[in-house]
Structures are given as C-alpha cells and as structure tokens.
Amino acid sequence: MRESVLLFLIIVAGTGGELCVTRAMKAIGEVTDFRPMALLRFIAQAVRVGWMWLGVGLMALAFFSLLAMLSIENVSFVVPVTALHYVAGTIGAVLFLKERITRQRWIGVLVVCLGVTIVWLSRH
C-alpha cells in the first residue's frame, strides 16, 4: 500500500509537473543563445510564468516520494517502474500540449513500455 501510494505520487505529480514546465517553456520560446547572461535572462523569464511554479511544486512532491521509494526498493527496480510516465506523458502531451503524435512515435512509445514492463517483471 505504502509503495503504491508513493508510486502514484511519483507518476501523477511527476508527469503533471513535467507537463506544466513544458507549457511554461513553450510560452517562453526556443533558446538560441547559450551565453551565461542570456541564460540568466532566460531563467528570469521562466520564473515569471505561473505554470513553471506549479510544475516545480509538483516535481518537488514527486522528488520526495522518489526519495521515500528509494529508501524501500532497489534503484534498478524503482526507476523502470516509474516508466509509467510514458503512457501518462504521451496522453498528456496530446490532451494538454496539443502535440500531434505520429503512428511511428506511438509504436516507439509502446515498445519502450514493453521493455520497461519486462524490466519490471525481472524483479521476481
């Protein structure tokens, strides 16, 4: 039960946080200048976007849940299990970010999920 709750928080809060951060980054636009001052200006822009704060908050929740999970289970088990992100993330990208997912990319995501499932099954 404890592991299930932690896993739920890692997946839902983690994916939600990533989607919020992505939305914030898309609002800012593509980074083309990688000089330190330009990057500082970019960070200053990023912290003014509300989605960024929501995303960081959710990702922090996922992070502390991950720490708790890592205290219970092996790293080589915990990390593959969190690959449920792929399903949640791709669906979220379609619904929340309005990205178009090609059939080939869907197949790739499914194959990745299959591999992750095998890794998960290798636990026993």
Partner 1 sequence: MRESHGLHLKTYLFIFFIAIFAPLGNTLLGKGMRSVGQVRDFSPAALVETLIRVINSGYIWLGIASLLAFFVAYMLVLTWADYSFVQPASSFSYAVVAILSYWLLGEVVTPLRWLGILVICLGVLIVGRTHPRTTEESARA
Task: Note the residues at the interface with partner 1 (CB under 8 A).
Answer: 2, 18-19, 21-22, 25-26, 28-31, 46, 63, 66-68, 70-72, 74-76, 78-80, 83, 85-86, 89-90, 92-94, 97-102, 104-105, 107-122
Pick from 73, 95, 90, 54: nearest CA to 65:
73
Tell the smallest beta-carbon distance from residue 123 to partner 1 (Å).
8
If the CB atoms of residues 13 and 85 are measured against partner 1, the closer one turns out to be 85
If the CB atoms of residues 13 and 78 are measured against partner 1, the closer one turns out to be 78
Output the CA–CA distances (angstroms, integers) from residue 66 to 21, 73, 90, in the order listed.
19, 10, 21
Between CA 124 and CA 120 the distance in angstroms is 8
Give the residue carrying structure tokens 């932690």: 6
Give the residue carrying structure tokens 């989607």: 19
Tell the smallest beta-carbon distance from residue 74 to partner 1 (Å).
5
Tell the smallest beta-carbon distance from residue 53 to partner 1 (Å).
14
Rg of the chain (C-alpha set) = 17
